[in-house]
């Protein structure tokens, strides 16, 4: 399961399960309150029954352990519904026809506490059981809900892979023919040839980016040393931009990455750093170094006006499709790499890649 699929699965599972869990917990709470009130009523009725036995002079042997009573002179009126809940016992006042006295009866809370504790245990056990059942149901529902989405994604991936594969031959053919055309002296440095070359390069870069993005192994992560990858990509850029100075400070920088995806991220960032560097590359540089678990790529080119928008698909210029950095963002997201773009004072751009 890919990262985006895991995220969608987790969201669906949590929304459904948390909703059901809240209902179960709320139902358990209200049920407990209802039964507790019923138990309290029973305790009040038992005090009334005990008082009735006292008034009628019946034997009180069966009440001797938990009950006791006393008589009180209370001048003011007492509500017949009175029922007091103390820390250790219940009490109730009842009037008797004996010189205006009141009978106050008491009962220990021991048996009530035992019943309430037993009730709590049963409700908690039932709630845990229901939560486990609905967690399993949530898992099955989330998995089934993602199945049509996964099938659609697989269909689109297959179509995209077939399309990219079919484009491989014409792209290669255009590149080879471009090299042949460049050998014709009459066409050197003509505007039409320059525009054609740029267009072919853009198509080639787009083809390469989409090929890497659609590869299944892109999302397979392994611990690797990034420095050889950096050196490999820099060597490619040196041949394309011989006037730019590359400063690399990287010896051993290990991180959990996918080799092909990381190479494409570096290729896209370094390509932009060179493409938008100083005119003709004079006095232009690209610095690559690392601190702790962060990789820094700096240049002294013309910079970026709105760094916060650089990864948006619509953010591009006339020389770019705008897909390069959008694919960088997607590949980085798949590998849990955080990217921050900053202005490199006094001029240029700094990319900071925080790797896992």
Cα dihedral across residues 274, 278, 281, 282: positive or negative: negative
Q: CA 103 to CA 54: how far, in whole Å?
A: 9
* Cβ atoms of 274 and 241 closer than 8 Å: yes
- From the list 341, 333, 339, the residue with the least C-alpha distance to 308 is 341
* Cβ atoms of 123 and 32 closer than 8 Å: yes
Per mean pLDDT, which range of 5-14, 135-144, 146-155 is the poorest? 146-155
Q: Which two tokens stand for residue 6?
A: 């895991």
Q: CA 224 to CA 226: how far, in whole Å?
A: 6
Q: CA 297 to CA 292: how far, in whole Å?
A: 14
> Can you state the percent helix, strand and coil of the chain, rounding each to 5?
60, 15, 25
Domains of the chain (ranges; CATH) run: 3-139 (no CATH), 220-354 (3.30.565.10)
Q: CA 48 to CA 333: how far, in whole Å?
A: 71
pLDDT in tens, 88-130: 999 998 887 666 688 899 999 999 999 999 999 999 999 999 9
Which pTM does this prediction carry?
A: 0.53
State residue 42's pLDDT score.
94
- From the list 267, 276, 156, the residue with the least C-alpha distance to 205 is 267
pLDDT band at 67 (very low <50, low <70, confident <90, very high): very high
Per the prediction, the chain carries an average pLDDT of 83
Q: CA 237 to CA 269: how far, in whole Å?
A: 11
If you average pLDDT over residues 76-83, what whole number do you get? 80
Q: Which DSSP string do the residues of 43-105 spell out, in sequence order?
A: HHHHHHHHHHHHHTT---GGGTTTEEEEEEE--S---TT--EE-SSEEEEEEE-SSTTEEEEE
If you average pLDDT over residues 206-231, what whole number do you get? 76
Q: CA 337 to CA 257: how far, in whole Å?
A: 9
Q: CA 237 to CA 276: how far, in whole Å?
A: 13
* Cβ atoms of 44 and 90 closer than 8 Å: yes
Higher pLDDT, 258 or 151: 258
If you average pLDDT over residues 265-282, what whole number do you get? 78
């Amino acid at each position: 399961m890919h990262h985006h699929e895991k995220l969608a699965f987790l969201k669906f599972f949590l929304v459904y399960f948390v909703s059901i869990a809240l209902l179960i917990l709320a139902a358990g709470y209200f049920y407990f309150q209802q039964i507790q009130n019923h138990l309290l009523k029973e305790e009040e009725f038992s005090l009334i029954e005990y008082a009735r036995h006292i008034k009628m002079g019946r034997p009180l042997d069966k009440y001797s352990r938990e009950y006791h009573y006393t008589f009180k002179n209370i001048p003011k009126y007492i509500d017949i519904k009175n029922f007091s809940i103390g820390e250790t016992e219940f009490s109730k006042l009842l009037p008797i026809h004996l010189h205006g006295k009141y009978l106050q009866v008491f009962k220990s809370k021991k048996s009530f506490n035992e019943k309430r504790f037993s009730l709590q245990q049963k409700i908690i056990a039932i709630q845990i059981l229901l939560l486990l059942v609905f967690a399993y149901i949530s898992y099955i529902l989330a998995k089934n809900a993602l199945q049509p989405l996964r099938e659609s994604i697989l269909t689109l991936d297959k179509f995209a892979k077939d399309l990219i594969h079919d484009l491989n031959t014409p792209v290669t053919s255009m590149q080879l023919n471009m090299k042949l055309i460049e050998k014709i002296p009459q066409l050197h440095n003509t505007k039409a040839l320059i525009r054609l070359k740029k267009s072919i390069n853009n198509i080639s870069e787009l083809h390469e980016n989409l090929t890497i993005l659609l590869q299944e192994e892109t999302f397979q992560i392994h611990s690797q040393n990034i420095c050889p990858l950096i050196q490999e990509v820099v060597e490619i850029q040196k041949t394309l931009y011989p006037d730019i100075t590359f400063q690399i400070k990287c010896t051993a920088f290990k991180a959990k990455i996918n080799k092909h995806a990381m190479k494409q991220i570096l290729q896209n960032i370094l390509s932009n750093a060179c493409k938008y560097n100083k005119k003709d590359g004079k006095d232009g540089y690209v610095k690559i170094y690392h601190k702790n678990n962060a990789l820094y790529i700096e240049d002294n080119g013309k910079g970026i006006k709105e760094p916060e928008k650089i990864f948006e698909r619509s953010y591009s210029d006339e020389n770019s499709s705008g897909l390069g950095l959008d694919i960088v963002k997607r590949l980085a997201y798949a590998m849990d790499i955080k990217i921050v773009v900053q202005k490199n004072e006094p001029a240029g751009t700094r990319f900071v890649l925080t790797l896992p």
